[in-house]
Structure 1
Amino acid sequence: MLLMDDMKAMRDMAGVEPWETAVLFGGPADGVRLRLTGRPSVLQVSHPCRVENAPDGMQIAALHIYRRDLKVKSEPLRYGFDGVSP
């Protein structure tokens, strides 16, 4: 298991952020696993919507916000659905 100091040392030596595994909990993307770098605090999941009578090229997507659980320090990182965010 890597500790935060170990991860920082790896990043400093390699000059790149290490990839980590994360899991989304709740909401429409519940259980989705992904790989990411930099431990972003918020993830945005979008899902295309079908549109009727829309001008050419218009696309509409439903947006879903997931926030990182700061209590989880090791992989897999955990992101929980935020149903209140716009």
Structure 2
Amino acid sequence: MENSGTTNWETAVLDGGPADGVRTCVTDRPRVIQVTYPCQVDGPEDGPRAEALYVYRRDYGVTTEPLRYGFDMASP
């Protein structure tokens, strides 16, 4: 991947977990992508909110687009 002073975007696809099949754009091929998902909590609607954090790790065997990021079962 060449960097000529401009941002080079690449397509990535998430595999497994709650964001299975989602496509996104990344720069610099990050090792992990974090996905948050709102969680239902008990109490009034305007009360505290919570989000689950899910981690997707890059599959280094995939070197061309779309890059692949697999769901990390240890998260959240």
TM-score with structure 1 setting the length: 0.77
Which sections of structure 1, spanning at least 5 residues, go unmatched?
1-6
Q: CA deviation at 1:48?
A: 0.5
Give the Cα–Cα distance (whole angstroms) in 2 for the partners of residues 62 and 71 of structure 1: 28
Match of residue 41 from structure 2: 51
2:14 corresponds, among 24, 27, 30, to 24
The answer (yes or no) to whether the contact 2:39–2:52 under 8 Å persists in 1 is yes
Deviations 1:29-72 (Å, cap 9, x if unpaired)?
Answer: 11111111111100111101122237x66321011110000111
Unaligned runs of 5+ in 2: none
State the structure with more CA Rg. 1
Whether 1:38 aligns to 2:7 is no
Kindly report structure 1 stretches of 4+ aligned residues shifted beyond 3 Å.
none
Matched, 1:71 2:47: no
Q: Greater strand share, 1 or 2?
A: 2
**RMSD of aligned residue pairs (Cα, Å):** 1.6
